[in-house]
Every structure is written in C-alpha cells, then in structure tokens.
Structure 1
C-alpha cells in the first residue's frame, strides 16, 4: 500500500518512542510520508534532530523531544505537554525498549527488572498519558512494538522475552477497555530485522556466517528491513486498519515458524 492510499485526518499527531534510529526512525519517516505530524522521542537529541531534518527535507512534519522512558515522571510530563501544545494525540507507537541476552543463572534481578521497566512499564505509562487525549477527541490508535521472543520460548531471552509477551497481553487488555472510545491497540511483532542494533550484534562474524543466518532465519530467507516494520505500523494507525484491535501482527518473514529462526532468538537482539 502506498503512502497516498492511507487515509489520515489532516493535522493528526503521532508520538513515537525510541525514534532516533532503526525501527523508530523508519516508523517516524513512514508516518510523516502519510501526512502525520510526528513527535519523535529518544534520549539522543543529536540523532533525533538529524531524523527530523531528514523528514522535513522530504516535505514532512516532525519535531524532536528528549525522553528517557525509564523515567515515569518524564513520560507523564512530556506527553501531557505535547498533547496540550497540539491539542491532540491521535497515534502512539511504543518502540523504545531494551534487550538482555543472558541465561537465567547469569541474569541479575536488577537486569531482569530493567527489561520490564523499559519494555512493559514504559508502554503502560505512555498509554496512560496519551489515552485521555484520544478519548477527548473520540478516537485514536496505539501500536506497541513486540518481538518474536515474546511469542515463543528460547534460551537466553529471560526478562526480554517475558516482558515482550506481557506487552502484547497488556495491549490486548487495554484494547478491551478503550474500544468504546473508538481507540484501537495492536502489537507489531518484528523478527530478524536489519537495524543498527542488529548490525552491532553480528560484529565479528564473517560475511558467510551472516549470510547463513539470513538464509535459515526466516521462511522468506532474508532479514527484514526497518521500513517494512514502518509499513505495518502505518497501516494499523491509519483508517485502513479501523477494524483491527487487540491483535498481534508478526512482521517477521516467517521467523516464528522457522527452525532456523528459533536458533537466532536469544543470540542477539531481533530489534
């Protein structure tokens, strides 16, 4: 589906977390192409400003706000300020997260908890902060970014996989609570997606080893691209996805069903 086919109300505002690179950047750029004004948040102001510049150079509308989603007070204050300033928040994308790839015997309680703070507690707080603006306007859409690690068990995913499983269930619960306000909540679940984080995770591997991972990790025989995650998010936020809520949409090239994909999970961060 092309950007021009998406139906977006003029002036619609989307708030995206973890938007300074990788999936978050791709999501923000795609939403801007569809006509959203995107509020991009992350901790790195320089990277955010670069993404905003790229979007505006392409004719889109975007702004940057510095946000550490491990800070509950900052989440509430920044989203409330953004909503008040624009008079609306129509879309929310919870992309920010963290990965911990250790076995249970090597994972400290503090590290285990950090996964839940970033991957589950933060989306809970952003939804809580954004929903009043959506309710006031009589509609909206939320997309949480999950992981194939949250769909099936594999070694060395610990708190990461458990927190991502919880994120999908939380989103489904919230979808039941706010559906009466014409607000939809869905999860997009990436698999092996080529991003800066993924690139760092395969440093030291030979080109042949990376090619073998790509061939066996998904049913389609290739890694995903951040833009393909952006396409799925854009669809779910748009009017084209108006009857989809409480869903978990895998965008993983068939990694969930691939035996090779199962070997990749826990070896590095899918996102």
Structure 2
C-alpha cells in the first residue's frame, strides 16, 4: 500500500542543515525518514531515524526495502550528509581525498540510486542535493571538499536531464558559511576575532547563516512553488558568490 502522507528521506538528519530540514518538513505535514551514521534515540513526532553508512551499498538496499514495505514511495529525497576536512594539495592524503568523494559523492549517488524506484511511485517527486559555495568559487585549503562538492553540481544537472521524463525534479543548494558542527571545525583554526572578521569580509550580509535559512530554500525546491525549476544549483550564501 502506498502512503497517503508525503514521505521525505533526508540523509544526515541528526544535525546541522539536515536537522533543520527535518523539522521544516515535519512541520509541513511530511513523514520524515532520517539517516544518521550514529544511533539516534530521540523520539520526535513524524521523524524516524535509521542508522546507516551512506557509502554502504547493502545499508541502502536494506533501508529502501524497509521504506517500500512501510510506505511504498518517497516524495522527496534530500542529500544533506557530508564531510569536510581542511587541506591543500601538499597536505591532503589519499585517504582524505577518498573519504570526501566516498561520502559527498558516492553517498549521494547511492541515495539517489536506491530512492529512485520509490520516487517513481510518487506523482510529483523531487531530489535536493547539497553542494557548497566553495564548489562554485573554489576555496583555499579545502581542495578535496570543494572538488567533491563541485561534482555534486554536475551530478545534479545530469541527473535532472535523466529523470525529467519521470516528472522528477533535481536541484541543489550551495550554502555559504552556516552555523553547523561542520563550521565549528573551521572555527577552531582561528581566534574568535579572526573568524568573525573573515565572515564579515566574505559575506556581504555581514554574518554567517543559520541552518533554518538553508532548510527553507531546500523546502522551497521540493515544493509546488518551484515546479518549473530543475537542474539548478541555488546559492544560499549571504552574498558570498558576488563578493
């Protein structure tokens, strides 16, 4: 039986942008299926968590089978899970390079691959991927991260073409600096004064973003308000892309 309620699958739903995205979809009547690398015991109305490694093929196979049996479809897929380590060409190891591509690119590929049969069961479905403003502008000392996120932009555009005949839209958001645990690792390398100065200089709005501000754009891209949009990457960056 196919669920009458709308179903959204969100990777990396336990923190940061993924957590805020889960809340906005739940608040708008969706049943949220969230993935996390760690076990989540919190019981939140309309949100259920599954512990999986998004780079693991068998984990995805098991999860997609569970969703199929329980709900019969997916209306929206949000690929929020990702990793970021600092490093340039000289300091980035092969294992760190592979780590970024396995998580940020292969993880997104597998999510889309296993969600596709369930997305086809929905009359109007949508995929929203997370790129980064660093994948558009480039970024100092973030070679592996920026390159892997650039792959997401190309992946999004190509997948949008492949899935257009199925009435499945595919878009991406490219956040600037957002107040998440991922940004916290970057903040550790700078003094508070240096960090705040750099954020003001990089973002014309003069501050870092909030996870909810990115989540709102993700929800828009998945909603009926954006039905003539596909294959696009939308910056949500406080003006960073025009600086």
Query: How high is the TM-score relative to the length of structure 2?
Result: 0.93
C-alpha change, 1:152 and 1:137, in structure 2 (3 Å) is same
Q: 1:35 aligns with which of 7, 20, 29?
A: 29
Give per-residue Cα distances to partners, 1:165-203, cap 9 Å, x unaligned.
111111111111111111000001100111122234313
CA drift of 1:79 comes to 2.4
Instruction: Check if 1:186 corresponds to 2:180.
Output: no
Instruction: Check if 1:166 corresponds to 2:160.
Output: no
Pairing of 1:110-129 with structure 2 (within 5 A): 110-129=95-114
CA drift of 1:110 comes to 1.9
Structure 1 counterpart of 2:215: 230
Can you give the 5+ residue segments of structure 1 that lack an aligned partner in the other structure?
1-8, 259-271
C-alpha change, 1:82 and 1:174, in structure 2 (3 Å) is same
User: Helix, strand or coil for the counterpart of 1:26?
Assistant: helix
CA distance in 2, matches of 1:224, 1:148: 12
Structure 1, 193-202 or 239-248: larger mean CA deviation: 193-202
User: Helix, strand or coil for the counterpart of 2:241?
Assistant: coil
Query: Aligned pair count?
Result: 241
Q: 2:14 aligns with which of 17, 20, 35?
A: 20
User: Helix, strand or coil for the counterpart of 2:69?
Assistant: helix
Moved beyond 4 Å, runs of 4+? none
Instruction: Check if 1:83 corresponds to 2:68.
Output: yes
Pairing of 1:65-80 with structure 2 (within 5 A): 65-80=50-65
Can you give the 5+ residue segments of structure 2 that lack an aligned partner in the other structure?
none
Structure 1 counterpart of 2:121: 136
